[in-house]
Amino acid sequence: MEHKKVAVIVAGSWGTALSRVLADNGHLVKLWTRNEAQADQINVERRNEKFLPGAILPEGITATTDMAEAVKDAEAVLFVAPSSAMRDVARQVAKYIHKDALVIHATKGFESESLKRMSTVLAEELHLPEEQIVVLSGPSHAEEVINRHPTTVVVASEQLSCAEAAQDLFMNDAYFRVYTNPDVIGVETAGAIKNIIALGAGLSDGLGFGDNAKAALITRGLAEIARLGAAMGANPLTFAGLAGVGDLIVTCTSQHSRNWRAGSMLAQGLPLNEVLERMGMVVEGVRTTKAAHVLSDQYHVEMPITDQLYAVLFEGLSPEKAVGALMGRVRTHEIEEIASASREEWL
C-alpha cells in the first residue's frame, strides 16, 4: 500500500477513530482541532479523552491547531466537521488545500439554512466539481472502530476513481472493510435521516415500549428515508445497503448512538436544551429533523415519523401523544404502489 499524508478535520470522536484506521494503514495523519489543550493531549499523551476516553492513539497521528500545517501537502483531506460548521471549516481549508487532493467527508446531516447535502457545501467552498467529492458512511460507531472491532462502510462518489482511491485509503484486512457506491445522494440522505429515526428509537425505548415498537419504527423509518431519497434522485437499492438499513439498525439499537441517547432523555421529560447540554456533543438528528421537515414539504413526500418528532422537539408535543398520533393514522397498505392503486386494480 502506498502511504499518504492525510489531513483530518476535525478531532471529534469519529474524526479520531477514522484517524486510527488511516494510521493503522501506514498513512501519516494530521488531525486538526481548534482546541490547543486537546492537540497537546493527543501529541503528548496519545489520548483524546473528551471524545474517546481510554483509547490510546498510534504514533502516526499528530494534532495541530494550525489549519495551514494540517492541510499542507496533504494528498487527501477528510472532513468530519458537524454539518453546522462544515461550510465555515471548508472555507478555511480552501486557502491551503492542494488542487489534486482527494476530498472525503464523513458527516451525516444537511446544512440547516440551505438544506444542502455536505458534498454540495464542500464543492461550493472548495471550488471543486461535486462529482469529485467522496462520502464515507455506514454502520460504524467510533467507540468500536477505535478499538479495532470489525466494521464495514461504504464510500460513494460519482467518479469511480475517486471512490476507489478512498476505498484504498481506508480498507484493511484486519477490521475495516470498504465498499464503493456511485449513489452520493442516496448515501448522504440515508446517513442524515437515520439520525431522526434513532431519536425516535431512543424515545420509544425511554418510554418502555419494547422491541415490537422499535422494530416497527425502524422499518417504517426506512420507508421514510427511501421515499425522500428517491424523490431527491437516489437509487432505491442504496437504502437496502450499508448506508441505509445497516446504519439505521446500528444507530437505533445501540447506546453508543448520541441520537438514541438524546431520544431516551427526551422520553424522561427533559427539555431539549437540557438534553443537548447534558450530551456535550453534537446531536445531528435534532438539526436534521428540522431540515427533513422542510424537505418533505418541498418534495411532497409523506414522513409521519419525522413530522411527529419535529412536533416533540420544536412544538412541545409530548412523546406519548406523538406515539398516539402515529398509531391512529388512517389505515393504508404497506406497499405504496398498492396503496396508490385502486382496489379494483389490486383485486
User: Which residues are marked as active site?
Assistant: 194
CA–CA distance, 78 with 84 (Å, rounded to integer): 16
Contact at 8 Å (CB) between 170 and 18?
Answer: yes
Contact at 8 Å (CB) between 82 and 109?
Answer: yes
DSSP 55: P
Determine the residue type at 55.
A
Place of cell 442516496: 186
CA–CA distance, 198 with 131 (Å, rounded to integer): 29
Contact at 8 Å (CB) between 310 and 197?
Answer: no
Contact at 8 Å (CB) between 111 and 87?
Answer: yes
φ, ψ of residue 272 to 5 degrees: the values are: -55, -45
Cell, residue 34: 481548534
CA–CA distance, 105 with 90 (Å, rounded to integer): 11
Torsional sign, CA 121, 125, 130, 134: negative
Contact at 8 Å (CB) between 213 and 204?
Answer: yes
Alpha carbon of residue 327 to chain centroid: 28
336: how many CB neighbours lie within 10 A of its CB? 13
282: how many CB neighbours lie within 10 A of its CB? 18
φ, ψ of residue 126 to 5 degrees: the values are: -95, -5
Contact at 8 Å (CB) between 284 and 198?
Answer: no
Contact at 8 Å (CB) between 231 and 299?
Answer: yes
The continuous run of DSSP H or E covering 31 comes out as: strand 28-32
